[in-house]
Amino acid sequence: MGYAHVDFKEKEDAIKANKDHKESSMTIGDREIKLDYAFPWRHKGGPPLPRRAVKDRHEPGPTIFVGNVPYEATREDIGEAMKSLGDVVAVRIGASLPKLGQASNLT
């Protein structure tokens, strides 16, 4: 499973996207994607923060975390899926590492 971060022009679009997703599912390819607010995972220069501590201290910004993204999805695929939710300004794709014991093509 891969993931991405989608930046909307306005914070309100990210809030609307997260709310709309809870009311109806969205897919990219044949996968149902998961949306959540993206929060900073550390203070600048500091150690990583526990997720709950981050959520409790920060209000949502213009960035949404998109989970369960197919590995073959492109930035354009993700942007296309999100554009109905608001003005998308950037899409950054990441990829989860395989779990221990799973085959991997990482070298």
pLDDT tens digits for range 16-31: 988 888 788 889 989 9
Q: Which residue has the higher pLDDT, 102 or 17?
A: 17
Residue range 90-105: average pLDDT? 63
Other CB atoms within 10 A of residue 11 CB: 14
pLDDT at 18: 87
Rg (CA), the chain: 15
pLDDT tens digits for range 44-84: 566 655 555 545 556 788 999 999 999 899 999 999 999 98
SS3 content of the chain, % helix, strand, coil (to 5): 30, 30, 40
Q: Report the C-alpha gap between 62 and 88 in whole angstroms.
A: 10
The answer to whether the CB of 54 falls within 8 A of the CB of 41 is: yes
Domain boundaries, the chain: 2-95
pLDDT at 100: 47
% of the chain at pLDDT higher than 90 = 43
pLDDT at 89: 96
Q: Report the C-alpha gap between 10 and 30 in whole angstroms.
A: 29
